Amino acid sequence: MTAIPGRSMLEGNPCATANPVITMWSHNPGSELSSTASTTSATPTAPAAPVAGTPLGLVGLAALMERSRGRPDIGVGLIDGPVALGHPALAAEQVREVPAGPPPGCRDTASASCRHGTFVAGILVGRRGSQAPGICPDCVLLVRPVFGETAPGPGPMPTATPDDLAAALLATVTAGARVVNVSADLRWSSVRERNALTEALDHARRRGVIVVAAAGNQGAVGGSTLTRHPAVLPVAACDVHGRLLGYSNLGASIARNGVRAPGEGVVGPTTGRSEPISGTSVAAPLVTGTVALLWSIRPDAGAAAVRDAVLNAALNAAPGHRAVVPPLLDAWGAYLRLAAGNP
């Protein structure tokens, strides 16, 4: 593999640390932390040209959101921080607690993990017409926090161990999630912890669950237990014109198994204010929301068909060899492929 200037080589690195952790992936912590289905049966039409300059328009999500709001029998797992359930921009009635896990609500709405979890939740199940994108507000959001609440203000981002992530994934799948959003990246871990996470991901795959994971913001070329697993759709970050953001992690497994989506320009709810944030943790829920809407429109589709529709639509929009950079998400193109029975 050829290194991109300014990036470190991580793919296949056997190193392990004594205290491996997973970390919330937001590029700029200072700015980030500052029913019934409504689908239509109209005949699918050719997608409109991407709308550069708008995050949802660029990747065809705006058009897909006009066709569906999601449906309550489609569970979307959120493995992140807790969520401010009383936030007016959230469809809080759609938020559910995952049994045997920490409570989904925040104890301290000023904590870093609460503000992060609330923002990502708003991308997925925010109220349409509010400051939140609200990609799939009629889906059920199954919240399983893994990041503890820390003091507000500057300081290290909240972390959790790979064992925490594996336990959260198993619990979320058992609770009924069909797609799980993980805005965290796993770098180094012990063999035992890698095995535990792999077993949890294997379980998700057997249950027909798609795991969407942020690639990370270290500007590195490499992969991890998450990005290399066949149950996972890894997500790199681009700007609102589709250009790769320099801090987004890349890698052969990310390019082969995933897509890129806007990681900046998205405005969503935080506790006390609303502002654009950036990072692969913003890009990942755009893909998670796409998967949830595709399943809302075609609930009978298998996980392989949905995954293939997402990947093949992105490749079709930008054919050609890619070594470490994944193609741009094309949510509307994925819908057309799935609707035509040709994922």
Q: How far apart are CA 292 and CA 56, in angstroms?
A: 15
Domain residues for 237? 46-339
Question: Residue 317's pLDDT band (boundaries 50, 70, 90)?
Answer: confident
- pLDDT of 323 above 70: yes
10 within some domain: no
The upper half-sphere exposure of residue 330, i.e. CA atoms within 13 Å in the direction of its Cβ, equals 24
36 within some domain: no
261 within some domain: yes
Q: Is the torsion defined by CA of 315, 318, 319, 321 positive or negative? A: negative
Identify the CATH number of the domain in which residue 293 sits.
3.40.50.200
Domain count for the chain: 1
For residues 192-202, give the mean pLDDT.
89
What's residue 189's pLDDT? 59
The CB density around residue 14, as the number of other CB atoms within 10 Å, is: 6
Q: How far apart are CA 177 and CA 141, in angstroms?
A: 8
Question: Residue 204's pLDDT band (boundaries 50, 70, 90)?
Answer: very high
What's residue 30's pLDDT? 35
For residues 122-128, give the mean pLDDT.
93
Q: What is the tens place of the pLDDT at every residue in 145-180?
A: 998 776 555 445 566 778 889 999 999 999 999 999
322 within some domain: yes
262, two tokens: 């806007």
303 within some domain: yes
* Strand pairing report for 177-182 and 184-186: unpaired
Q: How far apart are CA 335 and CA 122, in angstroms?
A: 23
More confident position, 31 or 247 = 247
What's residue 175's pLDDT? 96
Q: DSSP class of residue 92?
A: G
23 within some domain: no
* Low-confidence winner among 12-21, 116-125, 255-264, 268-277 (lowest mean pLDDT): 12-21
Pick from 193, 147, 183: which is nearest to 18 by CA?
A: 193
18 within some domain: no
163 within some domain: yes
